[in-house]
Amino acid sequence: MTQFVRVGARKRVDESQEPIVAEIPAVGPEYSPHSGAISGLPDIPELGAPAPEESMAPSPSNARSAERHQIADTELGVSSVALGTSVFGWTLGIEMATEVLGRYRELGGNFIDTADSYASGRSEHLIGSWMREERCRDEMVLSTKIGRNPDFQGLGAAGIERAVNASLRRLRTDRIDVLTFHVDDRDVELEESLSAVDALMRAGKVRYLAASNFSADRLLEARVLAANGLPRFSLLQTHYSLLHRAEYESELALVARAQGLAVMPYFALANGFLAGGYRSRASIVPSTRGLRIGAHLNRRGARVLSVMDRIAGDFNVQLATIAIAWLRAKSSVCAPVVGVSSAAQLDAVMAASDFRLSRSDMIELDRATAAN
């Protein structure tokens, strides 16, 4: 395990390392109008049945041995950081996405997060093709989200079944380790949605269930239904970072602890701002994403970057490592979901698995970002 030791002289981060400046694209890839040709992928028709089991036999791996953390009370053991794949098949084509997946695996990662709406299903297709080629399906813990794909909109029972079957075909697998409700569909009774997942679990197609973008009261409602025999949520995906704290740290954190939910924060790097790549408005490209980054170019943003710069200098790590390590130290957090735009950026992301912030550094970061 890598050891990080505080040194007397403050060392600067190795400037030769590629900074992480892109966490999500300018606009959401879920509804990208781009064709496969633009992203380097051919148009992808619906695939046939999942690949035979013998074709998925494990191949020799160069992956380093990594610590695994059990998700809540499940049987899933995962790495400390989940790989976000929202740009796969959109701004990242086959070659670059394959490089990212390979490097993530080499660094000990095994928790892949995707959705049926990412690049209209191309993200799932890329992941499935890579797992089949590398014969590593059994090494990976696979999480996918449903509810936002225009072909299977919402969380009605029939739509859930069709969405899951389509995801299984694209992912070339016979089961989904974690199925996530991407939205809280208030137009459908929660009991109906959970009953549909129950049938899929009984069929062996889904192992565990997660919620994304659910309010505290809806999580409580779901737990009541679970007490009556329906599947319960084991994980929660939510927007949470050094610069976006209040939404989670109020009611959601209390419910997550009370229900034993494993939390997967997304936007962990605040669209790349917390990686330190944006210090002035001149460095921001005009776009939807640029507007989100620009919202942090204020006194509070400068204050947190100043604290992070000091910690980075003390330990010779990148700012992205610090931002993720701060999340990992928080109660109930299981694995932050982090996306990258190149394989080289994963070194700083995965370094957070071994890096621990001191109590005084945690307090300083908390104070710098308290006003959310």
Class of domain 29-42+64-270+320-357: alpha beta
pLDDT per residue over 235-279, tens digit each? Answer: 999 999 999 999 999 999 999 999 999 999 999 999 889 998 877
Domain boundaries, the chain: 29-42+64-270+320-357
Give pTM, 2 decimals.
0.84
At 287 the pLDDT is: 65
Checking if the pLDDT of 61 tops 60, the result is no
The proportion of the chain whose per-residue pLDDT surpasses 90, expressed as a percent, equals 73
pLDDT per residue over 173-207, tens digit each? Answer: 999 999 999 999 999 999 999 999 999 999 999 99
Please name which of 231, 267, 271, 234 lies closest in space to residue 248, comparing C-alpha atoms. 267
pLDDT band at 30 (very low <50, low <70, confident <90, very high): very low
At 56 the pLDDT is: 45
By CB atoms closer than 10 A (0-12, 13-18, 19+), residue 298 is: exposed
At 278 the pLDDT is: 73
At 28 the pLDDT is: 44
pLDDT band at 370 (very low <50, low <70, confident <90, very high): confident
At 20 the pLDDT is: 46
283 or 39: whose pLDDT is higher? 283
Joined tokens for residue 226: 């679970």
Q: CB within 8 A of 116, min separation 6: which ones?
A: 124, 144, 145, 146, 148, 149, 152, 163, 166, 167, 170
**Average pLDDT rounded to a whole number, residues 32-37:** 31
